[in-house]
Amino acid sequence: MPMPEPSIPRVTIQDVKRLMEGGKTFYLMDVRQQPDSTQIKGAIYYAPDDLLAAEHIHLPVPKDRPVFLYCTSPHEATSAAIARKLLAEGYAHAHPIEGGYGAWRRRKIGYPIERRPDLKETRPLPYKPLG
């Protein structure tokens, strides 16, 4: 597991929910080491070890689009390490979600969760706002 990266600014679950409700466009990455059958609505799963080992990361979104990542690591260590790589690749707004998936799940009411598609189906698509 990567070490904590406190210098990478976090985004709160409240901020992400507000952006969802406002119809703002962003890219949401699920980078949990051992994901279950659910995910935050609209997220795309990426195997974190593959991203961490990759020489370069290329996402199917413009580099100025916000990219939010979540994991289940203490202190968002995995999502912060991947966010650091994305920032180095020129993605200007890559941020871990503070508290990760656990913080989102604990809120329950109003924080949308969906069943995750088959893991073999990890074709990246841009986040589609709720509505």
Domain parsing of the chain, residue ranges: 13-115
Q: Which stretches of the chain drop beneath a pLDDT of 70?
A: 1-6, 118-131
* pLDDT at residue number 108: 77
For residue 44, the cross-strand partners are 29
Q: Are 41 and 129 in contact (CB under 8 A)?
A: no
* pLDDT at residue number 123: 45
Helix (H, G, I), strand (E, B) or coil at 117: coil
Residue type, 130: L
pTM listed for this prediction? 0.84
Cβ-based neighbour number of residue 29 at 10 Å: 26
* pLDDT at residue number 117: 78
Q: Are 101 and 62 in contact (CB under 8 A)?
A: no
Q: Which fold has domain 13-115?
A: Oxidized Rhodanese; domain 1 (3.40.250)
Q: Are 39 and 117 in contact (CB under 8 A)?
A: no
